[in-house]
Structure 1
Amino acid sequence: MLFWSDVKCAARACITLVCLCYSVSGSAHFLELIPSTDIVSTPAQSKVAFTIQFTHPMAQGPLMDLAAPEQFAVFGPMGKQDLRASLSAHKRHQQQFFTAEYQIKRPGDYLFYVVPKPYWEPAEGKMIVHYTKVVVDAYGMEQGWDTELGLPTEIVPLTRPFGLWTGNLFQGVVKRDGKPVPFAEVEVEWKNDGSITPPADPYVTQVVRADVNGTFSYVMPKSGWWGFAALLEGEHTMQSPEGKQVPIEQGGLIWVYTRDMK
């Protein structure tokens, strides 16, 4: 025999499950490439540690399984360096992510980037490939931060992507194969440190549209890491693990850090 209290408990469980699914589905996929610092000012800071994971930054998860990247590299004062050998694999909740370290030896701007293996998202029926980069400035050289890496989809910053105060305007150009993408959609998320609970789903992922020249703008209202993801539909399809030809979400991402002015 069912009692009214049992019915109410079951109803609460169903509502909780629906809300949880809604919240996660409202979060965007972001490939995080987060360094221990975006500015190296002293030799003590010169060994930069990285965390590379595929997740929902504002929702603080869940973590998605990340295969070993096809590329992890840096372009800087010494040219391009392949950094895949520096990757260390780890697991959290049975999902794989990576860490790495890099020793900066010369002044200059270092553009670190990841080319991941395609990720199958069955809920959306598509493969996801997010070309992701972050810039680390060393010893105040401040040269080369706007270098184009030639990634299939890329955000080229118009604002210097380091030394940013909270409230600064960040601008970039969305490019595909080196050409601006008019009216491209850019999703923006803050890497939540647990201090913010979004009041409604639309606050999780901010969305801006580039102009006819592929240029977008966004004012960052809080200190911390901000991810900008230009998401384009791939020009070709790809075979899914289920053997079907499916669309590709081709993303160009850049991470920038802001600090409060104190």
Structure 2
Amino acid sequence: MRHLAPTLVLLAFLVLLPPLPALAHFAMVIPDENIVTQESSKTLNFQFMFRHPSENTSLDLEKCKAELLVDGKKTDLTGQLAEFQIQGKKAWKASLEIKKPGVYIVGMDAAPYWEKAEDQYIHHFSKTVVNALNAEDGWDKPLGQKIEIIPLTRPYGLYAGNSFTGRAVYKNKPLAGRNVEIQFMNADGKLKAPAEAYVTQAVKTDHDGVFTYTAPWAGWWGFAALTDDDDKIKRDGKDKKVEVGGDMWVYFHESLVK
């Protein structure tokens, strides 16, 4: 019995511990650069990843579906995807030849990911917008994803400290009163948040699905509009909830004024 008391104390302590925070998942579409100039390489490389970007950790991304929208025309890029590894996890890459001016919207439909800790699937869609050779029209066009962020701010040519405004839609309808999670791409892992609450920023959409966020420093920032999907996925014979996310990646250049 004398060994039982410490065990009971330990069990009670574990019960009282707060649950570990759920890490924010982001599907990522990241190009070499988001503005292609006359001096740039005309071969644009894209990486497709599934990560916790601010924590600089990766998850396996099973082969996704990738597509391009430019000049109102869609092209399936899935067959061009090549696998590579990041932190020992599966990711994908593809290249585009920039042959003419245009606004290039590249997106992906990531395979649903089973998150055991949350007892649900996570199914994210993602996209980014690249301006090539000073084209201006088309940056606000929807890609037609199940859940998507439609930019209301032009999503390139932004400085750190600029605000980004977007409209979240689910099945082409405004996603009202939902969370939009925000993280930056902490590529080298050098930046450390002072507390857990700083890792993932969050805003809510208004009744039209609109949200705004101001990026405090330069780099790639990801916005993920989240909701529960109407559809379920079966696992072990049971219907499981599916969180769908519409992710968008926007680059903010460092300020010219210090």
Corresponding residue of 1:253: 247
For 1:204, the aligned partner's letter is V
TM-score normalized by structure 1? 0.87
In structure 2, distance between residues paired with 1:99 and 1:230: 24
Corresponding residue of 2:24: 28
Please give the per-residue CA displacement for 1:185-219, whole angstroms capped at 9, x wherever unaligned: 10000111333210000100001001111100000
User: Residues 1-262 of structure 1: matches in 2 within 5 Å?
Assistant: 22=20, 25-42=21-38, 44-61=40-57, 63-69=58-64, 71-77=65-71, 79-193=73-187, 194-240=189-235, 242-262=236-256
For 2:201, the aligned partner's letter is Q
SS at match of 1:202: helix
Using the TM superposition, give the Cα deviation of residue 183 of structure 1 relative to its aligned residue in structure 2, in angstroms: 1.0
Corresponding residue of 1:3: none
Using the TM superposition, give the Cα deviation of residue 236 of structure 1 relative to its aligned residue in structure 2, in angstroms: 2.1
RMSD (Å) for aligned C-alpha atoms: 2.0
Using the TM superposition, give the Cα deviation of residue 243 of structure 1 relative to its aligned residue in structure 2, in angstroms: 3.4
Please give the per-residue CA displacement for 1:99-158, whole angstroms capped at 9, x wherever unaligned: 111111111101100011111111111111111010000111111000012211110000
SS at match of 2:111: coil
SS at match of 2:114: strand
Q: How much identity, in percent, do the aligned residues show? A: 37
In structure 2, distance between residues paired with 1:256 and 1:92: 21
In structure 1, distance between residues paired with 2:86 and 2:237: 29
Aligned residues: 241
Contact 1:27-1:58 at 8 Å conserved across structures: no
For 2:37, the aligned partner's letter is S
Using the TM superposition, give the Cα deviation of residue 43 of structure 1 relative to its aligned residue in structure 2, in angstroms: 5.7
In structure 1, distance between residues paired with 2:36 and 2:123: 30
Using the TM superposition, give the Cα deviation of residue 91 of structure 1 relative to its aligned residue in structure 2, in angstroms: 2.8
Contact 1:188-1:205 at 8 Å conserved across structures: yes
For 2:42, the aligned partner's letter is S
SS at match of 2:169: strand
Contact 1:228-1:254 at 8 Å conserved across structures: yes
Contact 1:27-1:204 at 8 Å conserved across structures: no
Which runs of 5 or more structure 2 residues have no equivalent in the other structure? 1-16
Using the TM superposition, give the Cα deviation of residue 93 of structure 1 relative to its aligned residue in structure 2, in angstroms: 4.7
In structure 1, distance between residues paired with 2:209 and 2:91: 32
